[in-house]
Structure 1
Amino acid sequence: MDQAEQVPKPVRKRTSNACDACRARKVKCFREGSSCRACLELGLSCTQNAPRRRRGPPNSYVQAQNQLRSPTGPSVTSPSIYSESPSELSLNVLDQLGPSTLIRQIIDDWFQLIHSVAPILHRGHFLRRLSDGDASHDPEFCGLVISICAATVASLKRRSSSHYGAVALDRGVELINGNRLLETGQSFTLEWCQAKYNLGVACGAGRGLDNQSSFRYLSEAVMGVKYLIYYKLPNMSIWEQQLVRRLYWMIFAGLCMEMFGRPYIGLLTPQDNIQTLRPLDLTDTELDPHFPGHSPWHGDTMSYIPGLNHLSNLFLLWHSSQQTHNSTPTGLQEHINLVQRALDDLPAELRWRGGLSRPPRSNFGTDVQIANLYITQLHIRSNLLEQLDRLTKGQSDHATSQNIIEQRQRIVEDSLEILSHMPRETLEANGHSLVPKIRDIGSALLDEVRAGENPGIVSEQARVDLVRLLERLETLDFRPEFGYA
C-alpha cells in the first residue's frame, strides 16, 4: 500500500454556526475550508455577517413563565376555570395572557393587517362581545380571543418581537389547554371552529408546517365546520352562515399545504356543493348593519371576499391536478395553463400593476391580498412544473426540457418582481404563508443549478436569480431567536 492510500480522506464537518445563505434556506451547512459546500457549488460569497442573538438575561416571556411556575405564582393548569356557577369563569384568563391594552392592540392589528386574507370574523359582533366582558364568563369566546392573539403574534413575527412583549404563542396555547376553554361545549359552534382554525394557523406559523398540534387543530376545525354545514347552517343567522362559508374555504386553502408534504385531512368531499358554499361578496356593514365597529374600519366598506374566492379557485385547480386521471404530463401542463389564467378576471383593485399607482378602491388590505394571490399562483405553477419535470425526466426530448426550464425561469422572475416592489409591511402580513412558498420556489431553482445539466445562458441566469431570491427571503424571513431577518 503506497503512502497516498494511507492518508485518510477528510471528513466533511457540519458547522454549528451556519453561514448566512444556509441559514436563510434553513439547510445544513457543511464547512470546507473558508467556504461551505453549498456556497462553493453556487459560486456565492460564504459570509457570516448577520448578527446572532447575544446571551443575556431571559426575555420577558421566560420571566413570565418562571413566575407562573413559582410556588407563589398563579397556575395555568388548574383543574377547572369554573366557579360553582358553570356560566362564570372563576378567574380572568385574559389577565394571565397580558394587559388588556396590549391584548386590544393585538386584536386591532389582526383586523388591520390580517383580516383581509382571513375574513372569518365580523368585527362589530366581536368587539361588542369583547367590550361587554363576555371573555370573563364565556370560556369559548375567551378561547377565541386568545386564539386570535396567538395567530397574530405567530404570523407578525417582526411586529411581535418589538410590540407584543410576553404575549406569545406557547403562552396562549397553555392557557387554552390548561383551562379547558375549548372543551366545554355540548355542540359545535362557529366560535369553537374559528378558534381551532386560528390555533392551527398559529402552530403552523410558529412551530412549523409539520407540527402535530397544528395538524390536530385543523383536523378539529374540519370536523366542526363540516358538522355546521351539514346540520346547522339553515338555522343560523345570515351573517353566521357567511362566516361559516368563509371559514370553510380558509381551511381548504390551509389544507392544501399538502404541497409541502403535509397529509391532506379531507375537507372537500363529493357531497359538497361548491357553488352553494361560496361566500357572498359582502362588506361587514352589508353582512350585519346592526353591529358596526367601535371606530371606522376599512372592512366596513371594502369586501375581501372576491380575493378569497379567487384564492379558492387556485387551490381547487391544484386539488384537481392531483386526481389520478389528471396526474399525467398532459393533465399537469393543462392545469399549469389553467392556473396561469386563473387571475385574469380579478377586479381592478386586486390586479398586480408592478410599480404603477393603485386603483382608487385599493388599500393596504387589497395589497396584502394581491401578494397572497400572485405568490400563491406562482407557487402552484412551480409545484405542478416540478411534478411534470419528474414525470418526464429521462423520457422527454430537448424541446420539452427547455420548455420546463423557461417556465421555471419566468416563475422565479415574476416572484422577484413582486418581492422587489411590494412594501415589506405588505409582505409580512402574509409572512407565515409566503416564506414557505418562496422557499419552495427557490428549492426548485437550486436543484436546477446543482444539477448542472443545462449549461448556458439559462443556467447562469438561474444562478443569479437564486442569489437574488435568497437575499429577498433573508429579508422577509424574520426569526426572533436570532434577532434578525
Structure 2
Amino acid sequence: MPPVVSRRGQRIASKACDNCRDRKVQCVFESPESPSCRRCTDANGPCTFLKERKARGPPARRVPSTQALPVGNLSIELLCPHDVFLSILEDFLHIVYPVLPLVHRPTFRLLVESKSYTSDPAFFRLCIGLVAVTVASIPRNFEKYGASMYPDVGSMVDRACHLVLLSRISLEPHWQNQPSMNSMLVSILLTMASHYVGRQNQGWGYASEAIQFFRALELFRKEGYEKLSPWECELCKRAFWVLYIIQIHDRLSFIVPHTGLSFDPKHTDWEFLLPAEAGDDDLTACTNDPDTYHNGKEFYNREPPLICGFIALVKVFLCVVDLLSSGLFPGTAPQAYAMTGGSLTLPEAAGDRISHSSSRSTLSLTSLLRIIRNLQSALEELPEQLKITTMDPQVRSPDGSEHALSATTQFQFDIMRANIHITSLYIQSTVLEACSSAFANNPNDSFAPSPGDDAHSSPGYTPRTQLWKFRESIARELLEVLHFCSTRTLEASGSSMIVKIREMAATLLDSDNDLGVPSESEEQLRRYVVQFADILANLDYMGHSTVIPAIFSAH
C-alpha cells in the first residue's frame, strides 16, 4: 500500500488506487495495514496502483533559466549549434552590417570558411559578439536562433557575454591594460547587444570599456593608424563614429552621462576620421596598393558603396553635435570638453549662438529652425539610393538600368535609408522638446512658419502654436517614412528604432489647450497617435516591458 496521511480521523492514501482514480472518488484505507481501500474491499476487487500517473500543473519548461559556465576549451557549440551559428553570421552580414559596419566582409568570410574561430581566440570572441548583437537586433528570429536552449533573447546575450569574459580571462589576461583593436570592437558589439535586450548596467559598462580602449590606443589621432592596414584603418574610423553616436545619445538623454569621451578634443583629426566612401572590396585592393588609399571617392564609378549610408548617418548627427557642448541639453559637458574641435566643417547650426540667462541656457527659436533646415540639407545631399523618394518602387531604377541594385543590396540600402530619415526626425523632435520652454515663455511673439511651409505665403504663428505646428510636421513626415518601410527593414536597427518612434509619438500626447491649438489640428494629432500605435503594435515584437534599451531612451 502507498504511504498514507491522516485527515479528520480517516486514513486517506497519498495517491488513489486505479479503481478510485478511474471513478474520481476519494480513496480511503481503514488502517495502515489494510491491503486494499474501502471501495475495493466492498467490491471484492483488486486494489492496484499500476496505471501511469500524469504530472499535475502545467508542463515544466525543459529550457533551464541559467546554464553552468563551461570549464576547459571554449567552442561555438557552448553558445549555439554550429549550423545556427553560421546562419546568424549570415544574417549579420545581410541585415545588421549596414548599421554596424565593424567587420571587413571579404576577410571575415575567409576566416569563417577556414574555421579560424576554432583556433584564434580573438576571432572567436569577435564571432561571439556578432552573434550577440544579431540575436538582440532581430528578436523575431529567436525561435530559430536559440529558443531550444534559452528562455529568452536576453539569456542568450548573457551567455555570449560570459563566454567572451571567460576567453579573455583564460587566454588574454591583460586585455584591460593592453587593449587591442579586436577587444575594442567586441566591447562595442556587446554594448549594443546588452542595450537592445534591456541590460542597462551591462551595456553602459561595455560602452565605458570600449571608450577607454579607444583612448588607450589613441585611435582619435592620425598617428594611431600608422601601423594598420587600409581596411583596419576604416574599421577603427567606423568604430569611432559608433562610439561618438553612443555618446551623443547619452548626453541627449541623461542629466548625468554614463560615458566619458572617446577622444581628446584638442588633438582629434576630424577630417581624417571620416570614413572613406569605399566598399570593403575596394579596401582589399588598397591593401595590395596602399597608394590608392585616399578619401575613397574615386573607388566607385557606377554606384555608391553601402558604407555611404553609415557616413550619411554620421553627418546627420553632426548637425546637432555642437549644441551638446553649449549646455542646452542635460548631461552636456562644459565648453572646455566640447565634443568637437579641430577644423571639421560643421553645418550652419554649429555657428548659432546660445542665449544665456542667469539661471539657464535656452536655444533661440531661430536657431532651432536652422537646425531643422540643416538636417533637411543633409538629407538633400544623400545619394539617390538613400533618398526617401526612391522608396517608392515606381521611381526606383529599373532592373535593366546601369545603376540597378541586387535584391540584397537594395534591402541593405533600405535599412540605412529608414535609419537615416527616422534618426533625422528623432533629432528634430528631441531638440524641439528640449527647447519647448522657449515656446512657452514667449506666448505673444510671432514666429516664422514651420520648415515645410512657404515662408512668403503662410501667416505668422505665436511660438506656442508653432510648437504644435512643428510636432505635427514631424509626425506627418515620420508616418510617410514608416509607410515606405517594411517591418523587416525597421527591425534591422534593433529595438532602438522602436524607442525612437515611440518617443516621437509620445510628444503628441501633450493636451495642453493653452497652446491655442485649433480643434481640427488636435483631432489630426489624435489620428496620428492611433496610426503610430498600430505600427508599434506590429513592430514591437518583444514588448516594451521586456526591451527598454536605455541608450536610446530619454528617461
Q: One fold, TM greater than 0.5?
A: yes
1:298-338 C-alpha deviation (Å, 9 max, x unpaired):
xxx96222211221111122221233244522333322221
1:373-413 C-alpha deviation (Å, 9 max, x unpaired):
00000000111111221233132326222222111101111
Q: Does 1:173 align with 2:161?
A: yes
Which secondary structure state, in structure 2, belongs to the residue aligned with residue 180 of structure 1? helix
Q: Report the AA paired with residue 355 of structure 1.
A: D
Equivalent residue, structure 2, for 1:476 = 539
Q: Does 1:431 align with 2:494?
A: yes
Q: Does 1:286 align with 2:282?
A: yes
Q: How far apart are 1:187 and its partner, in Å?
A: 2.7
Q: Verify the 8 A CA contact 2:197 2:546 in the aligned structure 1.
A: no
Q: Please point out which of 159, 165, 181 is paired with 1:190.
A: 181
Q: Report the AA paired with residue 280 of structure 1.
A: A
Alpha-carbon distance in 2 for matches of 1:285, 1:456: 56
Q: Please point out which of 376, 389, 392 is paired with 1:355.
A: 392
Q: Does 1:421 align with 2:502?
A: no
Q: Does 1:341 align with 2:377?
A: yes
Equivalent residue, structure 2, for 1:154 = 136
Q: Verify the 8 A CA contact 1:161 1:480 in the aligned structure 2.
A: no
1:408-461 C-alpha deviation (Å, 9 max, x unpaired):
101111111121221111111123221111111012111247988635111111
Equivalent residue, structure 2, for 1:27 = none
Q: How far apart are 1:483 and its partner, in Å?
A: 11
Equivalent residue, structure 1, for 2:96 = 114
Which secondary structure state, in structure 2, belongs to the residue aligned with residue 276 of structure 1? helix
Q: Please point out which of 433, 452, 472 is paired with 1:386.
A: 433
Q: Verify the 8 A CA contact 1:134 1:142 in the aligned structure 2.
A: yes
Specify every segment of 5 or more residues in structure 1 that has no aligned partner in the other structure, as ranges.
1-53, 70-74, 79-89, 292-300
Alignment of 1:406-417 (within 5 A): 406-417=469-480
Q: Does 1:246 align with 2:238?
A: yes
Alignment of 1:94-243 (within 5 A): 94-165=76-147, 166=149, 168-180=156-168, 183-185=173-175, 187-207=178-198, 211-226=200-215, 227-229=217-219, 230=221, 232-243=224-235
Alpha-carbon distance in 2 for matches of 1:370, 1:448: 32
Alpha-carbon distance in 2 for matches of 1:392, 1:322: 20
Equivalent residue, structure 2, for 1:328 = 363
Q: Report the AA paired with residue 477 of structure 2.
A: D
Which secondary structure state, in structure 1, belongs to the residue aligned with residue 380 of structure 2? coil
Alpha-carbon distance in 2 for matches of 1:445, 1:459: 9
Q: Verify the 8 A CA contact 1:317 1:339 in the aligned structure 2.
A: yes
Equivalent residue, structure 1, for 2:61 = 58
**Number of residues paired by the alignment?**
400
**TM-score of the pair, normalised by structure 2:** 0.67
Q: Verify the 8 A CA contact 1:91 1:136 in the aligned structure 2.
A: no
Equivalent residue, structure 2, for 1:257 = 249
Q: Report the AA paired with residue 249 of structure 2.
A: M
Alpha-carbon distance in 1 for matches of 2:531, 2:514: 19
Q: Which moved more, 1:320-329 or 1:380-389?
A: 320-329
Q: How far apart are 1:228 and its partner, in Å?
A: 4.3
Alpha-carbon distance in 2 for matches of 1:128, 1:176: 22
Q: Verify the 8 A CA contact 1:143 1:195 in the aligned structure 2.
A: yes
Q: Verify the 8 A CA contact 1:336 1:385 in the aligned structure 2.
A: no
Equivalent residue, structure 2, for 1:273 = 269
Q: Verify the 8 A CA contact 1:148 1:198 in the aligned structure 2.
A: yes
Q: Verify the 8 A CA contact 1:442 1:466 in the aligned structure 2.
A: yes
Which secondary structure state, in structure 2, belongs to the residue aligned with residue 339 of structure 1? helix
How has the CA–CA distance of structure 1 residues 130 and 480 changed in structure 2, closer, same or farther, with 3 Å as cutoff? farther
Q: Is the helix fraction higher in 1 or 2? A: 1
Q: Please point out which of 509, 513, 517 is paired with 1:454.
A: 517
Alpha-carbon distance in 2 for matches of 1:238, 1:280: 10
Greater C-alpha Rg: 2
Q: How far apart are 1:197 and its partner, in Å?
A: 0.3
Alpha-carbon distance in 2 for matches of 1:109, 1:175: 21
Equivalent residue, structure 2, for 1:3 = none
Alpha-carbon distance in 1 for matches of 2:58, 2:206: 34
**Relative contact order (C-alpha < 8 Å, sep 6+): which is higher?**
1
Q: Verify the 8 A CA contact 2:465 2:515 in the aligned structure 1.
A: no
Which secondary structure state, in structure 1, belongs to the residue aligned with residue 269 of structure 2? coil
**TM-score of the pair, normalised by structure 1:** 0.76
Alpha-carbon distance in 2 for matches of 1:401, 1:367: 36
Equivalent residue, structure 1, for 2:452 = none
- Provide the identity percentage: 23
Q: Verify the 8 A CA contact 1:114 1:429 in the aligned structure 2.
A: yes
Specify every segment of 5 or more residues in structure 2 that has no aligned partner in the other structure, as ranges.
1-56, 151-155, 288-302, 327-352, 355-361, 398-403, 445-460, 548-555
Alpha-carbon distance in 1 for matches of 2:417, 2:463: 31
Which secondary structure state, in structure 1, belongs to the residue aligned with residue 179 of structure 2? coil
Equivalent residue, structure 1, for 2:319 = 317
1:346-395 C-alpha deviation (Å, 9 max, x unpaired):
01111112534333246110000000000000000111111221233132
Alpha-carbon distance in 2 for matches of 1:453, 1:144: 55
Q: Verify the 8 A CA contact 1:189 1:228 in the aligned structure 2.
A: no
Q: Report the AA paired with residue 201 of structure 2.
A: Q
How has the CA–CA distance of structure 1 residues 411 and 270 changed in structure 2, closer, same or farther, with 3 Å as cutoff? farther
Alpha-carbon distance in 2 for matches of 1:404, 1:430: 29
